[in-house]
């Protein structure tokens, strides 16, 4: 499941504890990649929060990603009031996800084992 093209993960300029997600092409793979980024031993302490933005009222991979995080209780999701993006005229929102590392890391460990078993078959 290690497809780095499924999401762009950037360190936020706001804080070292915040990651910014963009260009989500596959929501489940994006969740896996976020966990891989957070829990890789070489990365040290994991970020506490991730954030993303998207257009209101559209069915997108970002919305599906938020659904995955909510349905699995991987964290608390706060969504801003919709506001107009002056560059595009689209109504957008910002989602901030405070990550429950215990649950998210446990899910990642299970998914990683499944992935390794598929490769070994």
Question: Which domains are assigned to the chain?
Answer: 4-116 (3.30.110.20)
Task: Compute the average pLDDT of residues 38-61.
Answer: 90
Note the pLDDT tens digit of each residue in 6-26.
Answer: 899 998 888 889 999 999 999
Task: Compute the average pLDDT of residues 107-121.
Answer: 83
Note the pLDDT tens digit of each residue in 82-110.
Answer: 999 999 999 999 999 999 999 999 999 99
Annotate the chain with three-state secondary structure.
Answer: CCCHHHCEEEECCCCCCEEEEECCCCHHHHHHHHHHHHHCHHHCCCCCEEEEEEECCCCCHHHHHHHHHHHCCCEEEEECCCEECCCCCCEEEEEEEEECHHHHHHHHHHHHHHHHHHHHC
> For residue 69, is pLDDT > 70?
yes
Task: Compute the average pLDDT of residues 16-41.
Answer: 92
Confidence of residue 117 (pLDDT cuts 50, 70, 90): confident
Higher pLDDT, 120 or 86: 86
Q: What is the pLDDT of residue 107?
A: 96
> For residue 45, is pLDDT > 90?
no
Q: What is the pLDDT of residue 2?
A: 44
> For residue 3, is pLDDT > 80?
no
């Amino acid at each position: 499941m290690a497809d780095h093209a499924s999401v762009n993960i950037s360190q936020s300029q706001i804080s070292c504890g915040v990651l910014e997600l963009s260009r989500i092409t596959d929501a489940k793979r994006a969740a896996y990649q976020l966990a891989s980024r957070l829990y890789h031993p070489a990365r040290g302490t994991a970020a506490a929060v991730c954030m993303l933005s998207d257009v209101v009222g559209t069915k997108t991979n970002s919305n599906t990603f938020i659904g995955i995080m909510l349905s699995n209780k991987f964290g608390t999701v706060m969504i801003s009031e919709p506001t107009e993006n002056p560059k595009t005229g689209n109504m957008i929102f910002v989602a901030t996800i405070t990550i429950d590392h215990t649950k998210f890391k446990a899910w990642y460990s299970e998914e990683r084992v499944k992935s390794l078993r598929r490769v070994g078959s």
